[in-house]
Amino acid sequence: MKNLIFVVLFIVPLLSIGQDCYWQQEVDYKMDIDFDVDKHQFKGKQVLKYTNNSPDTLDKVFYHLYFNAFQPGSMMDERSRTIQDPDPRVGERIAALTESEIGFQKVNSLKQDGKSLDYVVEGTILEVKLDKAILPGASTVFEMDFLGQVPLQIRRSGRDNKEGVDYSMTQWYPKLAEYDFMGWSANPYIGREFHGVWGDFEVNIKMDSKYKMGATGMLQNADKIGFGFQGENVEQPKLKKKVTWNWKADNVIDFAWVADRDFTHISKKAHDGTMMNFIFQPGEETTEKWEMLPEIMDEALKFMNANYGKYQFPQYTFIQGGDGGMEYPMITLITGERSLGSLVGVCIHEWMHSWYQFTLATNESLYSWMDEGFTSFASAEIMNHLATKGLIPGARVRDNVHAGSTMGYAMFSQSGMEEALSTHSDHYNTNTAYGRGSYTKGSVFLSQLEYIIGEKPFRKGLLRYYDTWKFKHPTPNDIIRIMEKESGIELDWYKEYFVYTTKFIDYGIVDVIESNGGSKISLERVGEMPMPVEVLIKKKDGSSELHYIPMRIMRGDKDFGDQKFVQQKDWPWTHRSYEFMSKVKASDIESIRIDPSLRMADVVMDNNEWMPK
């Protein structure tokens, strides 16, 4: 009896760690913004209802004040002037900003449930000591008055971007930091990636009526604003000198908007009812290509819905702005003067972030590879699909769309610059290591996973991951667990090697000798990272056989579907060498090749192929 009580007391808390006790905080913002286009400043009133769903009592909160990064001497400025390979968009530009060109967010007052609070500004973070601690399950209301100044466009946000877009308004309001099972994410704004709290936004922006706008969310007073948002038979209304745009967005992690005097707006309802907006400055470099986007994006959306899960929001807006391509909920800011191929490429990539960031909201600061990498993985497949449909003139259709990333990562892993994917995105030593890790290795994480478990369980797993974790904050373990459940294979080793280390893959063929009327093939593991191995034996008569060597720690085998293969015994990861037999006589062999489908990121290719002398 005593033992039983011990077991119950001890086991119950362990069992409760996992998805069942998953929790996340909630924010509901109402903001009234009064924008002064002469001063490039805006007054804001923010009412924020914050619900603490955590099991912890909170006695402080943090807000991001991102615009403060665009001031000489800020952490972003210092970092961009001292990193070995600066982002050319930033470089030394922040240091050169004058008083009227810098950005800021000044908090004039902050109250909690009507009582004034003490707070301290530390660069881009507002530290707030609460008057009344927030108990688990309780809500509180913060009221803030603030003044913002829009910086000259340096990175993502700002005024007067290089294509002349007036206001790219991203990371523009005091935004509550996320608190999750890992604690507070009060990351100073250095340059890369974000983590946001799920919630609802109502944002009313009062501005000179010469400016046209696109934003996260749905425009509530569309008939009063016009500009292509109004109902079908509604004429463009006459506007007063200043007009208030009333936006609402449900269940998002951020809110962005863009305004410009020269914008034009085209829209199309996609096959599934999603409203797609395309907002740009008309001109020689833009109009013809932007007018081709609605049809192309509708075809892309069909493929995206089918392969990565259904798009979860009623609307999506592609808008000219920013400094390249940057994703936000229900909207992306992209520079618009591009070739059609580049324009489509960036539109696809940024929209795909609506899956891998704005539905599956990973903590991008910690797991930038889970949004940039997975987005890159899907984008490559979507672009290939559009090429097969002939929608992008001159685009090549590929057999293995992920071969480029696989080779790119394999080469980079030998450069001496690689850092583990588990590095916080702001803390990589170089921009190159961040980029190759997050985009390229992050994409290979998925394509290689498909190689390990097989196409069918992988594709089912990808949809199940989306379905299970939508509108939450999944972690690396969550996608691995889903793939384990779909495949029946243990995959913890894959995550541990590929995410937490820079150990690389290299297998080689050592020897092939005639034995018992067949041949004995000897392999070696040269790299530290173990993998299941596939070996193709090509015969001189044109036929071939594929051999499959799983790892012992997988405790299961790949699903080859209809593909024929010869099962070999497990290869324990502790063993550097391995031998197997083929019935094919050595003298009948034309060639032997490790990883014939080129899906494994093997860093040395010379030792992957064997041919008789």
Please give the residue ranges that form the binding site for Zn ion (CB under 5 A): 372
Q: In terms of CB distance, is 372 or 486 closer to Zn ion?
A: 372
In this complex, which beta carbon is closest to Zn ion, that of residue 193 or of residue 260?
193
Given the complex with Zn ion, which of 207 and 433 has the nearer CB atom? 433
Instruction: Give the position of tokens 């704005």.
Output: 358
Number of Cβ within 10 Å of residue 462's Cβ equals: 24
- In the bound state with Zn ion, the residue whose beta carbon lies nearer, of 166 and 372, is 372
Instruction: Give 336's contacts (C-beta < 8 A, 6+ positions apart).
Output: 163, 280, 281, 285, 286, 290, 320, 343
The partner residues of 28 in beta bridges, in order of sequence, read 49, 200
Contacts of 14 (CB under 8 A, 6+ apart): none
Question: Cα–chain-centroid distance for residue 433?
Answer: 17
Q: Smallest distance from the beta carbon of 476 to Zn ion, in angstroms?
A: 18
- Specify the DSSP class assigned to residue 551: B
Our CB check for Zn ion shows the closer of 378 and 584 to be 378
Residue 146 or residue 351: which is nearer to Zn ion going by CB? 351
Tell me which amino acid residue 184 is.
W
Length of the chain: 613
Of 35 and 194, the one with the shorter C-beta distance to Zn ion is: 194
Beta bridge partners of 219: 247
What whole-number distance in Å separates Cα of residue 391 and Cα of residue 302?
A: 14
Q: Is 76 left (phi over 0), alpha (psi -120 to 50) or beta?
A: alpha
Closest CB to Zn ion: residue number: 372
Q: Residue 166 and residue 47: Cα distance in Å, rounded?
A: 27
Residues 425 and 437: their CA atoms lie apart, in Å, by 10
The least distance separating Zn ion from the CB of residue 133, rounded to whole angstroms, comes to: 38
| Residue 196 main-chain phi, psi, to 5 deg | -130, 160
Of 69, 61, 79, 73, nearest to 149 (Cα)? 69
Least gap, CB of 169 to Zn ion (angstroms): 19
* Identity of the residue, 58 or 370, whose beta carbon is nearer to Zn ion in the bound complex: 370
How far apart are alpha carbons 426 and 10 in whole angstroms?
39
Q: CA 111, CA 280: separation in Å to the nearest integer?
A: 40
**CB of 87 vs Zn ion, minimal distance in Å:** 14
User: Which is closer to Zn ion, CB of 229 or CB of 358?
Assistant: 358
Long-range contacts of 17-20 (CB under 8 A, 24+ apart): 19/468, 19/478
